[in-house]
A and B are shown apart, each in its own frame.
Chain A
Amino acid sequence: MILVNYLAAAALLCTGLYVLLTRRNLIKIVMGLSLMEASTYLFMVSLAYRAASTAPVLLGPPAGRTARQLAHGNVADPVLQNFCLTAIVIGVAVTAVFLSVAVRIAQHYRTLDADRVRAMRG
């Protein structure tokens, strides 16, 4: 059933891509990029999921299991959770860069419409 999560992440990514390709408002383009970022978080956390697993915490394991057994058995993938943690911080920082560029463009061209920012069209 985790396939549904994968497909939802793919749909989220494509929604973000569609927004990115078709919108002309720079703020909305940044929002589209944030949607695409969010889809990667969903995808990585879903990839980390294992059926009937516990969280990767070696403390107070479920009844009948020791921490050593837990290390070999059914837990969610900690590496992908680490990826997600990393991606969130980077996502915030990159969004800040995009937004500051968008504000500078608005201040310079007096518009947020990407089609009217013509300086790079020769």
Chain B
Amino acid sequence: MTTKTTRRTRRTRTTSIGDGRALDHAARREASEREPVHRPWLGALLAAGVAVAMGVAVAGISREHASLPQIARYALEVALPRWKLTEPVNEVVYGTRGFDTFGETFLLLAAVISVVVITRPRERRRGYFGEETAGAREQAQTDPAEGRDDAEQSARLAERREQDDRASGGEEPQETPDTTPLGTSAPETAETMTVVVRTAIRIALPILAVTGLYLVAWGYSPGGGFPGGAVLLGVVLLAYAGYGRRKISAVVRPSLIETIELAGAAAIIMTELLGLLLKGSFSANWLPLAAAQTPLSGGIAQLFSGSELIEVGTGLTIAVFALLGMSHDWARDKNGGEDER
């Protein structure tokens, strides 16, 4: 990324020598331009009112010398004897307030599903509904003679090149930017970053992945599903940034990670329900406890946390890649400007 930025800066600098005055003028205009705001005085008044109310409220609440609330003391007391967990926060997440975590998991799932629904592309759906196949048969029946004209052909080709994992025909995008001399003014077509960034990622990636899994399996005590899942997303994003979409498309594809995500959700439901069936209460521990500070010490806490790792890691990955894939479906520009992607 650093190389790209430097290159872009240099490019700007060379251009600014050429027609410096115009650029300078544009920059000054942009700097002096006032950002449109919406009723700033009313907003300031309301925010100030809330600030006063909050100030009064926080002045009266308990401070650092207050004793711990009942539920916190309960969690601290049962963490070691009942769960063999040396970390009460884990006991709270997966034990005492397990039901809350259970609900939160499905709030996350609902948010991920909303993102998937909102970002769903209008074009090829990779066979979700089979519209292309169905439409092709109908078109062959009603109008078999109709061919594709040039514009449609090229549009479809470009579309497929962007959507498919393997580029088909046309100008092949460059694999890496390593051969491009520095200071080249064309936009970069390479998918991967330079050899410097790729080497750094190759070293950092396994370390990061192992750290994330270590957080889940061990730490002070097992049960780091949430941070572990976030680290997993970091691993995927690093690979994406360094090596481009095609290199990770074998793993990061909707059909695979959506299945894994729902498998994680199913595992969480099963973990919690078995507590109800075997021990008589939802999210009760039904697994044997190992000694404290070993990977299996928390009973179901470890199972819950591992499922949470899958759920959070894949859920956030789905959300991020759904957002990154939202390049299409622009409405036609009424002002007749260039139809930008």
Interface residues of A (CB under 8 A from B): 1-3, 6-7, 9-11, 13-15, 17-18, 21-25, 47, 49-51, 56-59, 67, 70-72, 75, 77-82, 85-86, 88-90, 92-94, 96-97, 99-101, 103-104, 107-110, 113-115
Q: Which residues of A have CB within 8 Å of B69? A: 77, 79
Known: A71-B76, A99-B323. A56 touches B293 (CB 8 A): no
Q: Which residue of A lies closest to B112 (CB)?
A: A93
- Interface size class on chain B is 35 or more
Known: A17-B46, A58-B87. A72 touches B330 (CB 8 A): no
Determine if B108 is an interface residue (Cβ-Cβ < 8 Å). yes
Q: Which residues of A have CB within 8 Å of B231? A: none
Known: A50-B64, A67-B80, A78-B72. A86 touches B101 (CB 8 A): yes
Q: Which residues of A have CB within 8 Å of B230? A: 89, 92
Q: How far in angstroms is the closest Cβ of chain A from B250?
A: 24
B61 pairs with A6, CB closer than 8 A: yes
Known: A7-B55, A7-B58. A56 touches B88 (CB 8 A): yes
Q: How far in angstroms is the closest Cβ of chain A from B97?
A: 6
- 10 closest cross-chain pairs (CB), A and B: A21-B43, A93-B111, A10-B54, A22-B43, A6-B58, A18-B47, A96-B319, A78-B88, A71-B76, A51-B64
Q: Which residues of B have CB within 8 Å of A81? A: 89, 92
Q: Which residues of A have CB within 8 Å of B96? A: 79
B312 pairs with A89, CB closer than 8 A: yes
How does the 8 Å CB contact mask read for B83-126 relative to A, with 1 for contact and 0 for none?
Answer: 00011110111001100110010011001101100110000000
Bound complex: CA A110 to CA B333 (Å): 7
Stretch with Cβ within 8 A of A (4 or more), from B32-40, B136-144, B280-288: B32-40
Q: How far in angstroms is the closest Cβ of chain B from A58?
A: 5
Q: How far in angstroms is the closest Cβ of chain B from A14?
A: 4
